[in-house]
Amino acid sequence: MKTTSKKLWMGICFTMTLALSAGSFVVGPETIHAASASKGDQIISTGSQFMGVRYEHGAPAGSTSSFDCSSFTQYVFAQNGIHLPRSSKQQSTVGTYVPRSQLKKGDLVFFYAPIHHVAIYMGDGKILHTFGQGGVTVTDLNSGWWSSHYTEARRVL
């Protein structure tokens, strides 16, 4: 093999070794956590695009002209590659349980017993959801009615 070919071959091998080594350092708990955090931000960003869209009990799945609470969460999560069942009760059975004190952006939060309302946790004690005349809105989870009717949370990200 000529000297030039050997140098080229060694350079390719060295570059591949660096690339593969770097990959092993990048993939770790910090990266996975960062990916989850950014997915939560993506969920919130997607949902926020529908602020004010009217609430309609039993709104059809996949429609964006109106939502009920669970068609809203189902649609927003589907736009981000996460498929949820249709009803809030069914959605409360997927993912993993999260204590209220450990909520993160993108967690699903549920209300009433039996469960019949779902929202998306935004961070800083805020939830993104739809109900009543205001349609899709942001509400404070930690005060008043919503705080006292909180039931549980699930993490699907």
Q: Which residues are catalytic?
A: 69, 117, 129
Are 94 and 156 a contacting pair, CB within 8 Å?
A: yes
Closest-CA residue to 82 (of 150, 51, 36, 28): 36
Are 74 and 84 a contacting pair, CB within 8 Å?
A: yes
Rounded to whole angstroms, how far apart are CA atoms 126 and 141? Answer: 5
**Strands 108-111 and 117-123, how do they pair?**
antiparallel
Closest-CA residue to 106 (of 147, 48, 156): 156
